[in-house]
Amino acid sequence: MIKKIIIRHKFWILVSLIYFTLLYSTSLHHFYGVERTVSLSHFVETDETLKKYFPDMGILKGQPIYTYWRYVWKLTSFSLDAGYYITESEKIQHGVAPYKYRILPVLIAHLISSTLQISREMSFVLMNILLIYLTALLFNYYLLKYFNFTKTISFLGGILFITIPTVTGTVSFPMLDPISLFFSMLIFLSVIRKNPYLFIMSSITGVLSKEILIISSLMWFIETVQLNSIKKLLINILISAIPIIIFVSTRMLLGGSPFEIEFGHNPLHGDFPILWKRLISFGGWIYIILSAFLSFTFLWTGIVNVNKNAFIKRQIIIVPIVILAASMFSAQIIRPLGILFPIVIPMFLMFFKNVQKQPSKLL
């Protein structure tokens, strides 16, 4: 019985084992000590609010480092984000935007920590490992089912996903990028399948994890709009509006403004984030372009294949919008762009699909 099951599902078993091994080898090595993996050049100034809860943050700067893995995050450029996520998961309400609005991941981490009796840091890491693992498998299915790639090419796509900077740089830290990648994958699956129930579930949970996934509203509208029927058009608009409604209502229920952005700034009151200066300087645009490139490096070359797939051709508009949003609202651009992997990687894989059809064009 077991042998038959293994034979029947040998492809997925093999893929699962390889993905987990790759995930371990490229990410989980951070556990073994910051002195082996984290460059001292990544140290940042410690947030004063967090110093009350983590008095050892920043005091190791410039000194020999020997630390147990759970404290690595305090010594990296993730310290600000990770510190707030940990404290929020411990029910310490700082009321700092945007961390206080990302309620789903910190709730999950709290439940994991309470149930398994482990540290908050470890609960985030366990959550991240599981979500990246599941995302890689779902991505493999997405490539096989909706792009007609071979098993080999789809498997390669999963490897490319696991090794993008958003994954390798955050999975072993108390960060929320892995959960945003998971819900991004579910949103793409719901949109390409035009499944309203999956879309509603994944977009709501996505926005409650990372607000950049509000882009799902535009994705659903683009894919389902029907101008020949007023009734269907209204239904599609209503479904498309759900992520926006969740975005706005979460902010209002938690004591913020619907227009509140990075660290409480409200542009409607003339309070503009300092990050917006990037958009009006040559150096700022150089930084934006370089960061956008580094998010996927040469996988971006697949954009020449944008017209070879109808779904990607319709959805490609979200790429510049996400890049602009990340540039305006995030201090770190590379990581937020990771949610675009269901578009960027398939476009790149089309090179291999073409080679398989015409092997003579390999060189």
Q: Each residue of 102-112: pLDDT tens digit?
A: 899 999 999 99
In whole angstroms, what is the distance from residue 166 CA to residue 205 CA? 20
Q: What pTM was computed for the model?
A: 0.86
Structural domain for 184, as ranges: 7-358
What is the per-residue pLDDT across 173-200, written as a single tens digit (0 to 9) for each?
888 999 999 999 999 999 999 999 999 9
pLDDT at 56 > cutoff 70 = no
Better pLDDT: 356 or 291: 291
What is the per-residue pLDDT across 66-124, written as a single tens digit (0 to 9) for each?
444 556 677 667 777 888 888 888 776 666 778 888 899 999 999 999 999 988 888 89
pLDDT band at 217 (very low <50, low <70, confident <90, very high): very high
Q: Does any domain span residue 363?
A: no
Alpha carbon distances (Å) from 311 to 141, 145, 188, 257: 16, 13, 10, 35
Among 243, 144, 151, which residue's Cα sits nearest to residue 199? 243
Ranges of H-type helices in the chain: 2-8, 10-26, 34-37, 48-51, 79-89, 103-116, 120-147, 151-162, 165-168, 177-193, 196-207, 216-224, 230-253, 282-296, 310-315, 318-329, 341-357
DSSP state of 304: G
What is the per-residue pLDDT across 226-258, written as a single tens digit (0 to 9) for each?
778 788 889 999 999 999 999 999 888 887 766
Residue matched to tokens 């990581």:
335
Find out whether 314 and 146 touch, Cβ atoms under 8 Å: no
Q: Does any domain span residue 217?
A: yes
In whole angstroms, what is the distance from residue 203 CA to residue 127 CA? 19
Among 186, 207, 208, which residue's Cα sits nearest to residue 197? 186
What letters, b where the CB count within 10 A reaches 16 and e where it falls short, cover 29-42?
ebbebbeeebeeee
pLDDT at 62 > cutoff 50 = no
DSSP state of 211: G
Q: Does any domain span residue 2?
A: no
Angle at 343 between CA 190 and CA 305, to 5 degrees: 130
In whole angstroms, what is the distance from residue 48 CA to residue 153 CA? 48
Angle at 269 between CA 264 and CA 274, to 5 degrees: 55
Q: Which amino acid is present at 36? A: R
Alpha carbon distances (Å) from 272 to 89, 249, 285: 29, 22, 18
Q: Does any domain span residue 264?
A: yes
Residue 78's pLDDT is what? 73
Two tokens at 152?
């080999």
Find out whether 191 and 220 touch, Cβ atoms under 8 Å: yes
In whole angstroms, what is the distance from residue 309 CA to residue 321 CA? 20
Burial of 352 (0-12, 13-18, 19+ CB in 10 A): middle
Q: Does any domain span residue 1?
A: no
Q: Which amino acid is present at 281? A: S
Q: Does any domain span residue 265?
A: yes
In whole angstroms, what is the distance from residue 319 CA to residue 321 CA? 5
Q: Does any domain span residue 219?
A: yes
Residue matched to tokens 């190791």:
60
Domain count for the chain, please give it: 1
Backbone angles phi, psi at 27, to 5 degrees: -130, -45
Residue 269's pLDDT is what? 54
Q: Does any domain span residue 33?
A: yes
